[in-house]
Structure 1
């Protein structure tokens, strides 16, 4: 099993003259949806597909709830999820910042355990 990649050119306009270098980018083989994921987890465990499906849905809902409540979610073997805020600045700290908040995003930091498992990944040119 290997991760497919392709090579793309990237132009650096910050140097004179502009230069082009080539970099690898990972190419996804396929999208694994919830049904497929639940089936694979069920095959690797003693749970049914329906149980796995229910746990994944419930976990997703609970993560969203906890993030919306301002909590950081840490799943030891998976990683950490945390909300970040994107906003414009204000002149004084006493000014209301709420109208300037543009978006929230979910920051994901993989666990060291997951990163370690991915160190053995092989690559193949597509």
Structure 2
């Protein structure tokens, strides 16, 4: 197995007059949805596809609920999820307010096994 990539040109955001450079960008080769994951898990276990799907949907809901409470959600060997934010800088701590928040995101930190996948993955340039 190998992850496909392509060359994409990008501008330097700090120097818009600089010539564009090319960078490698991973290419998604399809997608897998919850239905497919439920079927795959069901085929590997004694649990029905419907049961797997129900568990995955409940997992998603509970991850969202716990993130909304400001918690880190640890999924054992899989990894953990946490809310992250970006904000504008302020001169004092008192000047930092909700209006300074520019963007929010969900950070995922993979577990050791998933992280080690990146050490072993091979890449293939798409023509």
TM-score of the two chains, using structure 2 as the length reference: 0.78
**Alignment match, 1:77:** 77
Are the aligned partners of 1:90 and 1:97 in contact in 2 as well (CA < 8 Å)? no
**Alignment match, 1:31:** 31
Q: Residue 14 and residue 89 in structure 1: after superposition, are their counterparts in 2 closer, same or farther (change >3 A)?
A: closer
Q: Residue 19 and residue 120 in structure 1: after superposition, are their counterparts in 2 closer, same or farther (change >3 A)?
A: same
- Report the alpha carbon displacement of residue 50 of structure 1 after superposing the two structures with TM: 0.7
Q: Residue 41 and residue 6 in structure 1: after superposition, are their counterparts in 2 closer, same or farther (change >3 A)?
A: same
Question: After the TM superposition, which of the residue ranges 25-34 and 115-124 deviates more from structure 2?
Answer: 115-124
Are the aligned partners of 1:80 and 1:111 in contact in 2 as well (CA < 8 Å)? yes
Q: Residue 71 and residue 49 in structure 1: after superposition, are their counterparts in 2 closer, same or farther (change >3 A)?
A: same
Kindly indicate which of the two structures has a greater share of residues assigned to strand: 1
**Alignment match, 1:116:** 116
SS in 2 for 1:71: coil
SS in 1 for 2:46: coil
Whole-Å separation in 1 of the counterparts to 2:23 and 2:52? 38
Whole-Å separation in 1 of the counterparts to 2:19 and 2:95? 45
- Report the alpha carbon displacement of residue 117 of structure 1 after superposing the two structures with TM: 2.8
- Structure 2 unaligned regions, length at least 5: none
- Structure 1 unaligned regions, length at least 5: none
- Report the alpha carbon displacement of residue 96 of structure 1 after superposing the two structures with TM: 7.8
TM-score of the two chains, using structure 1 as the length reference: 0.79
Q: Deviations over 1:14-35 (max 9, x none)?
A: 68x9345432211111121111
SS in 2 for 1:32: coil
